[in-house]
Structure 1
């Protein structure tokens, strides 16, 4: 259906493509120009489907301490952005967390065991929410659609091990769960860092701990992370440098939050 609709031989495709290109320019929260041509409702539905699948496939943790701390921190951050968000802790030793379109947040127990304090977990959750706010999944899906003339993967995500299902999970940033790695780009990761540190600061978490987090992640992955030019992610050293440059602004937001009485005690 989609291939027929978007066929180059179809005159309607040419008209639709021209209109799409004129309306596909968007601006991220940091002011970066983006190519986004898919409706947010479709991307949100992908996120909802992916989260439901993950909850069915992965073991959910009912550890009261983990759930209380994670929910408390996530609520403090999402109150800054608004909306109702679902938060789930997954029983998984990997040091991972994610946020999906449709306002879904997942945190692995391995991440909770790695962090030293609530601020470091707030940096992680803020970063992941930053991906959602910046519409990074839509950006990647739009690029995929522009290249392949169609993106009919929503139904396929009910079978995450299928090629289209893997593509869908990869575009959302959780493809590694099902054996396909499609990480966010360096630009998107760096952007999520800045958005995330501002979010945690606005929520009343000391943003300086974001630097401590990446230094800790660096120590935890010694010998496991490729050098930056071989990776789609910024190196931990680059992340720390960028965060240090942005820290005066983040500290200003933190001081404002403190003045408003925002002093979360979650962990």
Structure 2
């Protein structure tokens, strides 16, 4: 154990650590370039598409595409094409990956009752990518695993590979049975950024509280997969309530410009 600090310092020195600030001013250590983290996201997304059943329902896909496209259209780098895939699964879950990838499980659509509530989740997940949370998590996994070799030893009994650990760090723990959860500060940042994104895209931010109330009713005390590592329902709803005065003007200014409403299918 005495060697651990030395190994961590060596990893930092060899990797080319970059320290930056998150959208709320937190210090972030990012060990990977944007190109590297985008490649991890693309690789993980391809793996998931092979593992999960992709929905072929044209109306369902059109609905999710509509919501996701309106969210991504207001991003600073709106020229980036985002790949949106709907997965046939009872999981109440969704995710976004670096490189422009969004996955939505059909189970979520039973809880997100309208376009505004679905936009709450997609905005939140996209915000994780926008705030470099994926890079931060994978960097943390690399540091705490000292180059991933020690992580292999620690996780070997569970059969978790390097690729699986990276996927878990990207927020895909439910796919690999191992979770490296986002911290509360990261979750709060994603809430703040996500509700602003949805408001700018013409979605009603007041529906964000309703969505998380619906989530709180699912799956008993633990809630659905999407909430497994998130702050408490009450804390999240309180924060979103306090934000309404800031984001409602954005919604009022943008809702009249929306030409394509997203209609949920039965």
TM-score in terms of structure 1 length: 0.84
CA apart distance, 1:258 = 2.7
Cα deviation for residue 225 of structure 1 reads 4.5
Closer, same or farther in 2 for the Cα pair 1:65/1:18, shift >3 Å?
Answer: closer
Alpha-carbon distance in 1 for matches of 2:231, 2:36? 29
Residue matched to 2:197 = 199
User: Is the 2:160–2:176 Cα contact (8 Å) retained in structure 1?
Assistant: no
Q: Does 1:89 align with 2:83?
A: no
- Counting only pairs closer than 5 Å after superposition, residues 109-148 of structure 1 correspond to structure 2 as 109-148=106-145
**RMSD, aligned α-carbons:** 2.4
Aligned partner of residue 89 in structure 1, secondary structure: strand
Deviations 1:133-192 (A, max 9, x none): 01111101222223333258xxxxxxxx64212211110101211221222222111111
C-alpha contact (below 8 Å) 2:217/2:223 kept by paired residues: no
Which SS does the other structure have where 1:75 is aligned?
helix
Deviations 1:5-34 (A, max 9, x none): xx959x9x59x729945xx22122233321
Q: Among 243, 247, 258, which residue is 2:255 paired with? A: 258
Q: Which residue, 60, 71, 85 being the options, matches 1:66?
A: 60
Q: Distance in 2 between matches of 1:8 and 1:34?
A: 21
Match of 1:156 in 2: none
Distance 2:73 2:100 in 1: 12
Give the aligned partner of residue 217 of structure 2. Answer: 219
1:17 counterpart residue number: 13
1:34 is aligned, of 12, 28, 47, to: 28
8 Å contact kept, 2:141–2:166 = no
Provide the residue aligned with 1:155 in structure 2: none
Map of 1:169 onto structure 2: 167
Deviations 1:233-265 (A, max 9, x none): 200111000111111111121122135x12541
2:104 alignment partner in structure 1: 107
Answer yes or no: is the 8 Å Cα contact 2:29–2:139 preserved in 1. Answer: yes
Separation of aligned partners in 2, 1:18 and 1:92: 41
Which one of the candidate residues 205, 208, 213 is aligned to 2:206? 208
Alpha-carbon distance in 1 for matches of 2:210, 2:260: 19
Counterparts of 1:70 and 1:19, CA distance in 2: 38
Shift of 1:63: 1.2
Q: Secondary structure at the match of 2:262?
A: coil
Rate the CA distance shift 1:151–1:65 in 2: closer, same or farther, 3 A.
same
Judge conservation of contact 1:86–1:105 (CA < 8 Å) in 2. yes
Could you tell me whether the CA contact under 8 Å between 1:58 and 1:91 is conserved in 2? yes
- The structure 1 segments of at least 4 consecutive aligned residues displaced by more than 6 Å after TM superposition are none
The unaligned stretches of length 5 or more in structure 1 are 1-6, 153-160
Counterpart CA distance in 2 for 1:148 and 1:95 is 30
Gaps of 5+ in 2: 150-158
Question: Does the CA-based 8 Å contact 1:88-1:105 persist in structure 2?
Answer: yes
Specify the alignment match of 2:50 in structure 1. Answer: 56
Instruction: Output the CA distance in 2 between the equivalents of 1:54 and 1:183.
Output: 19
